[in-house]
Structure 1
Amino acid sequence: MRTILLSALLLLAGCQSAYYSAMEQVGYHKREILVDRVEDAQESQEDAQKQFSSALEEMKTLVDFDGGDLEDAYDKVKSQYDASASAAEQVSSRINGVADVADAMFEEWQGELEEYQSASLRRESQTQLRETRQRYDGMLRAMRQAESKMEPVLRRLKDNELYLKHNLNARAIGAVGNEFGQLEVEIQSVIDEMNRAIAESDQFIQTLQ
């Protein structure tokens, strides 16, 4: 199993390398790919913010439930959980895409330092590499921090969905209502962290353009 996994990872790395090489052949370099992927990650974070806010609104509607079809109310809660899980998965996927191309770009940049004949130009490029890497590291930390904040929200939404599924009555809604305050806090924390990550991303993009 370990050998199969290693082979799969090597194949994936090879595919990525071939992809970057092919893109460079048509004038689309790693730096440009990185900017595009950072912007894609920002977009997915903005979408996730909206989705988590929508899930919170649906839970508030459920907590304020004063009659109607409980089965329909449960279906809406489940739909919001599924959409939130999908949004979170998209965020993680796009952050991983950012990290992949950034690693390739920095590795290439580091290797090309040895090709300089001019010592002064080499030093200047090395300084730029170090500063760009530092800014990138700060941005990636902010992205990963925001990513980590999604998991508690998803767990709480899933708990609520499961509890309602097996206890679809007014008492169950009351129990879910007791969890609403903490869910609100956790979703606000996700939104705040994502806003910080988006701001860090904007600053990083400016350094590349």
Structure 2
Amino acid sequence: MKYWILIATLMLGGCQSAYYAAAEQVGYHKREILTDRVESAQESQQEAQEQFTSALEQLQTLVDFDGGDLEDVYDTVRDEYLASEKAANDVRDRIDSIDDVAEAMFDEWQQELELYQSAKLRRDSEKRLSATKRQYANMLKSMRRAEKKMDPVLARLKDNELYLKHNLNANAVNAIGNEFGDLKGEVQALITEMNKAIAESDQFIKTLGQ
């Protein structure tokens, strides 16, 4: 079923409202889309953690450099930076896609409160909407906080790549080594924030499933 939805998305040229309408016609509702996108964001955060850790390990190899071809080392450092940048962009895109469908789902939920004939059921649904919004806000805040933690790491990786590019010598290796501890701390802080965001995501998914 989702295969055909993917085709419809491509044909619609990225029009989200039309996509949601088409998806609902085949039984794929905003709540399910949101759950899928949150899970995809979790995966992208986990992949980003692995990539940043890999970049850190490669820089550790550089810091421990003891002879060999520095050009090859630079190529590896550059590749790791580019891969890290790609992983970070993927995380950002996944978070943005979550926010888009969440807003659409909450708007629809709010509008449909007016359709209830039963005041009791309407109040209950309104309470659930408020609770879900709070849980979502907590999750999104945690995701955005982790997202911001990527920026200083990427900046430092880029600095290292540029410095090594123009200074392929032992002095450049020493200079990068002097800042390695700061980078390591930033990567660890990033991983911690991402794990918190993933935990918040798990709680939100449970809320949606109730």
Q: Could you say which TM-score interval applies, normalised by the shorter chain?
A: over 0.9
SS at match of 2:68: coil
- The letter for the 2-side match of 1:134 is R
Give the Cα separation in 2 of the matches to 1:181 and 1:13.
46
- The letter for the 1-side match of 2:144 is R
Give deviations 1:37-95, integer Å, cap 9, x for gaps.
00000000000000000000000000000000000000000000000000000000000
Q: Unpaired runs of 5+ in structure 1? A: 1-11
Which residue does 1:16 correspond to in 2? 16
Establish whether residue 170 from structure 1 lines up as the match of residue 170 from structure 2.
Answer: yes
> What is the alpha-carbon root mean square deviation over aligned residues?
1.2
Change beyond 3 A, Cα 1:193–1:13: farther
What does 1:60-209 correspond to in 2, within 5 Å? 60-209=60-209
Change beyond 3 A, Cα 1:13–1:96: farther
Give the Cα separation in 2 of the matches to 1:14 and 1:51.
29
Give the Cα separation in 2 of the matches to 1:18 and 1:117.
29
Question: What percent identity do the matched residue pairs reach?
Answer: 68
The Cα shift of 1:13 comes to: 11
Which residue does 1:8 correspond to in 2? none
Q: Give the TM-score, by structure 1 length.
A: 0.93
SS at match of 2:179: helix
Which residue does 1:9 correspond to in 2? none
SS at match of 1:59: helix
How many residue pairs match? The answer is: 198
Q: Unpaired runs of 5+ in structure 2? A: 1-11
Q: Give the TM-score, by structure 2 length.
A: 0.93
SS at match of 2:206: helix
**Structure 1 ranges of 4+ moved more than 6 A:** none
